[in-house]
Amino acid sequence: GAGVSQTPSNKVTEKGKYVELRCDPISGHTALYWYRQSLGQGPEFLIYFQGTGAADDSGLPNDRFFAVRPEGSVSTLKIQRTERGDSAMYLCASSAQTGASGNTIYFGEGSWLTVV
C-alpha cells in the first residue's frame, strides 16, 4: 500500500479483555516497529521486527504484551488481560532496512486503545 495501515483506528475494551491491533507496513519494507504513545507524551518504543523475527523486544512493558509477524509483512500486537493503564495510541511504523541506519521510519495513523 501507499502508507502504513493500522486497524482498528479506535478500540474500546473492558478491563481484563484481550485485544489485537493490526499493522500493514509499506510494501517492501522489511523493518517494522511498534510504539506506544500516552496522552501528552512522546512515542515509546515497544518492539522491532526485521523480517519475521522480533529482533528487539526490549520495550515491551510486561508479558501481557506480545507481537507477531509470521510472514514478514503484516504484524499483530496482542495485549492480554488489558488494564486501564494500557489506554494509549499504539503506533506502527516501517522502514526499508537495507543496512543503512539512516533510513526513514514511516508511521501509520495509529490505533487508539481505551480500556474501561
Partner 1 sequence: AQSVAQPEDQVNVAEGNPLTVKCTYSVSGNPYLFWYVQYPNRGLQFLLKYITGDNLVKGSYGFEAEFNKSQTSFHLKKPSALVSDSALYFCAVRDPMDSSYKLIFGSGTRLLVRP
Residue ranges binding partner 1 (CB under 8 A): 4, 6, 31, 33, 40-45, 48, 50, 55-56, 59, 91, 93, 95, 97, 101-110, 112
Q: How far apart are CA 109 and CA 116, in angstroms?
A: 22
Minimum gap (Å) between residue 102 Cβ and partner 1: 4
Minimum gap (Å) between residue 84 Cβ and partner 1: 20
The nearer residue to partner 1, 79 or 110, going by C-beta atoms, is: 110
Count of positions (residues) in the chain: 116
Sign for the CA dihedral angle at 66, 80, 21, 89 comes to negative
Minimum gap (Å) between residue 26 Cβ and partner 1: 12
The nearer residue to partner 1, 43 or 75, going by C-beta atoms, is: 43
Minimum gap (Å) between residue 16 Cβ and partner 1: 26
Q: How far apart are CA 80 and CA 76, in angstroms?
A: 13
Contact between 25 and 75 (Cβ < 8 Å): yes
